[in-house]
């Protein structure tokens, strides 16, 4: 009954507001107090009308399906890690790396590119340039020496011709002609030397710049304008990533899987949506003394320049029959990275238990699922890790784990509500 003292409207409004809060809390993950969600949040809240009867009733409380701004929790059915996959971790490297310096000493007068730039046809291939004045002076001096040598050769040739005529007329002895011939030969030698000096001066000026082929990226430019440089000191480093290589080490028993020209697939963490294919370019027949693995190089075109030197690549070599697990060794399963939570440098996941009922009832959504926090241990082999999943122990095949977001809001022993649950048989497998 509604009291007649006029206080019912305020109490009715407060009751309606409280009912809305209770309905909203029913879809938010909770801690250990799972019984707080036992109420049926789908029932509308009741409130008394100020007149006690008649008149429009207050709007019903919003149900869980109306709270579209709350995250919908998804789950994933774990599968055993495929023991027959043979993977190795390699490093992406540029096929061509350049370390360049000046052949001549001089003062830097211009720097066209900076580190990180790509050499293009518009700006040209010159990256840095020395002051050309000293080189122009050498060229001018060499040109003057050539002109002088040409003049001397002309005079020597004239003397030889005159002496030949005089000797023919018996007006000069043979010795004078020999001296004239010798003088002409000496003048020709001086001219050849002067021309060689001129070519060297022009060559040295051509080497007063550092050039990098078009398309290369500059990784380091270790000079400044006005700086004095010495010959042979590397001042520019560049890479060509239009073609890249994958450098990895392979165990001896896996060498038959990496024969030259074999195509292998790999993924990189930085590009999880892409799977790349490369061919085996070379296999070193001697194992590394430290790792006892055989160096293998894969090569592939990189026209979109997506692969960068330094990326870690997980290469799938092939498949082999799974060896029986050692006695007492934990079984590994593949778990999505979205299901992982790191707390105090330890790795955890949340295993959820579905409510009882038929599959048809479970798909109606918003039923209570219990949550259990489970510590995990990663596989000691980095090759077992993929860009979107890890191989871990601590959980078993068939466990259902909760996917993010907002995993950090959950607590061990709590409860959640899952909006919709897919048939486990339709759960897509984790990419390996």
What is the band of 398 on the pLDDT scale with cuts at 50, 70, 90? confident
CB 390 within 8 A of CB 383: no
Run of H or E residues at 238: strand 234-250
Phi and psi dihedrals of 181, rounded to 5?
-65, -40
pLDDT, residue 65, reads: 35
pTM of full prediction above 0.75:
no
The CATH architecture to which 133-206 belongs is: Orthogonal Bundle (1.10)
Q: Which of 14-28, 29-43, 206-220, 248-262 has the lowest mean pLDDT?
A: 29-43
CATH number of 87-93+239-319: 2.40.30.170
Angle, helices 133-168 vs 174-206, to 10°: value is 160
Of 393 and 273, the structure prediction assigns the larger pLDDT to 393
Of 337 and 353, the structure prediction assigns the larger pLDDT to 337
pLDDT, residue 4, reads: 42
Enumerate the domain spans of the chain.
Answer: 8-66, 75-81+327-426, 87-93+239-319, 133-206
CB 201 within 8 A of CB 145: no
Q: Which fold has domain 75-81+327-426?
A: 2.40.420
What is d(CA 195, CA 153) in angstroms, rounded to the nearest whole number? 13
pLDDT value at 295 more than 90? yes
Q: Residue 227 contacts by C-beta under 8 Å, 6 or more apart in sequence?
A: 107, 108
Residue that has been written with the tokens 């009733």 in this structure? 57
pLDDT value at 283 more than 50? yes
State the average pLDDT over residues 117-127. Answer: 90
Could you tell me if residue 307 is left (phi over 0), alpha (psi between -120 and 50 degrees) or otherwise beta? beta
pLDDT value at 367 more than 80? no
Q: Which two tokens stand for residue 416?
A: 């959640």
| 4 DSSP 8-state letter | S
pLDDT, residue 140, reads: 96
Average pLDDT, the chain: 77
What is the band of 57 on the pLDDT scale with cuts at 50, 70, 90? very low
pLDDT, residue 41, reads: 37
Neighbouring C-beta atoms of residue 268, cutoff 10 Å: 20
pLDDT, residue 80, reads: 66
pLDDT, residue 187, reads: 94
Q: Which two tokens stand for residue 72?
A: 């919908």
Residue that has been written with the tokens 């270790």 in this structure? 222
pLDDT, residue 320, reads: 54
pLDDT, residue 262, reads: 93
């Amino acid at each position: 009954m509604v009291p007649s003292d006029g206080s019912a409207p305020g109490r009715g409004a407060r009751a309606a507001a409280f009912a809305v809060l209770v309905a909203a809390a029913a879809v938010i993950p909770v801690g250990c107090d799972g019984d707080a969600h036992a109420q049926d949040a789908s029932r509308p809240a009741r409130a008394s009308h100020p007149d006690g009867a008649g008149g429009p009733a207050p709007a019903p409380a919003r149900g869980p399906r109306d709270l579209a701004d709350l995250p919908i929790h998804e789950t994933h059915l774990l599968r055993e890690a495929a023991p027959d996959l043979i993977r190795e971790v390699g490093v992406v490297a540029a096929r061509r790396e350049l370390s360049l310096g000046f052949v001549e000493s001089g003062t830097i007068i211009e720097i066209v590119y900076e580190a990180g730039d790509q050499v293009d046809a518009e700006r040209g291939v010159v990256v840095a340039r020395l002051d050309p004045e000293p080189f122009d002076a050498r060229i001018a001096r060499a040109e003057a020496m050539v002109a002088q040598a040409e003049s001397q050769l002309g005079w020597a040739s004239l003397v030889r011709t005159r002496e030949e005529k005089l000797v023919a007329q018996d007006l000069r002895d043979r010795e004078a002609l020999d001296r004239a011939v010798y003088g002409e030969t000496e003048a020709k030698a001086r001219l050849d030397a002067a021309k060689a000096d001129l070519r060297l001066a022009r060559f040295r000026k051509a080497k007063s710049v550092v050039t990098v082929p078009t398309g290369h990226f500059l990784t380091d430019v270790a000079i400044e304008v006005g700086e004095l440089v010495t010959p042979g000191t590397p001042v520019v480093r560049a890479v060509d990533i239009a073609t890249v290589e994958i450098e990895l080490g392979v165990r001896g028993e896996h060498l038959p899987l990496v024969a030259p020209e074999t195509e292998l697939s790999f993924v990189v963490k930085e590009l999880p949506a892409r799977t790349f294919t490369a061919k085996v370019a070379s296999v070193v027949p001697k194992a590394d003394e430290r790792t006892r693995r055989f160096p293998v190089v894969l090569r592939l075109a990189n026209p979109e320049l997506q692969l960068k030197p330094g990326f870690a690549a997980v290469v799938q070599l092939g498949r082999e029959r799974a060896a029986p697990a050692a006695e007492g060794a934990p079984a590994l399963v593949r778990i999505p990275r979205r299901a992982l939570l790191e707390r105090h440098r330890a790795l955890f996941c949340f295993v959820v238990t579905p409510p009882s009922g038929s599959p048809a009832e479970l798909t109606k959504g918003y039923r209570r699922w219990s949550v259990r926090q489970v510590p995990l241990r990663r596989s000691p082999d980095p090759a077992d890790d993929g860009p979107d999943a890890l191989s871990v122990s601590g959980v078993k095949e068939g466990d259902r784990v909760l996917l993010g977001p907002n995993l950090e809001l959950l607590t061990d022993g709590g409860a959640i509500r899952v909006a919709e649950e897919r048939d486990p048989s339709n759960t897509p497998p984790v990419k390996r």
